[in-house]
Amino acid sequence: MSTLDLIIDFLTKHWEGLASILLSVVSIGIAICSARSTSKDASRQIASVKELGEIQTEASLLSLDMELQKVEAQLYQKRKDYNEIRGERMKFELEELNHKASGFNWPAKPNTSVILKDRESKLEDDIKYLTDLKTRLSNIRRRMMKYKKEEGRI
């Protein structure tokens, strides 16, 4: 018997076992390729999530900056209004004192000073609220920038 006959004889007798081994080898090869592909996909997904986080952080910072600017503009306007009302009230009270000191009857409404004080008080409350809001927003922005620096994004 020749070597070729021996090989054919061996293959015919043991084809099921050889097919099983070959199937296992092919399965292992497919699993390795699949694992590599899955690993690459996972790496890409991790990179995408990280990039998305960076984009969201940037968007949040921009939104926070816009909100801070809006609060600063409101604060500026409230302070301006407060100074105008306070000046108006002080002018009114000074005129009232001058008229009383001179002995003339003061024709102005007595509630004018009270109304101006109420407006002034309301503006003071608004200024306190906006100042506190600005402080809190600035603290949040500072923490976000610190986080961004720690992550090596700056």
pLDDT digits (tens, 9 = 90+) for 95-131: 878 877 777 666 666 677 788 899 999 999 999 999 9
pLDDT at position 150, please?
A: 80
Radius of gyration for the chain, computed over Cα atoms and rounded to the nearest angstrom: 41
Amino acid at 51: E
C-alpha span between 136 and 118 (Å, rounded):
27
Within the chain, how many helices (H) and strands (E) appear? 3, 0
Q: What is the mean predicted confidence (pLDDT) over 32-56? A: 84
Amino acid at 134: K
Q: Tell whether pTM > 0.75.
A: no
Mean per-residue pLDDT of the chain: 85
pLDDT at position 30, please?
A: 83
Greater confidence (129 vs 146) lies with 129
Cβ contacts of residue 53 below 8 Å, gap of 6+? none
Other beta carbons less than 10 A from residue 76's beta carbon: 11
Greater confidence (90 vs 39) lies with 90
pLDDT at position 107, please?
A: 63
pLDDT digits (tens, 9 = 90+) for 73-93: 999 999 999 999 999 988 888
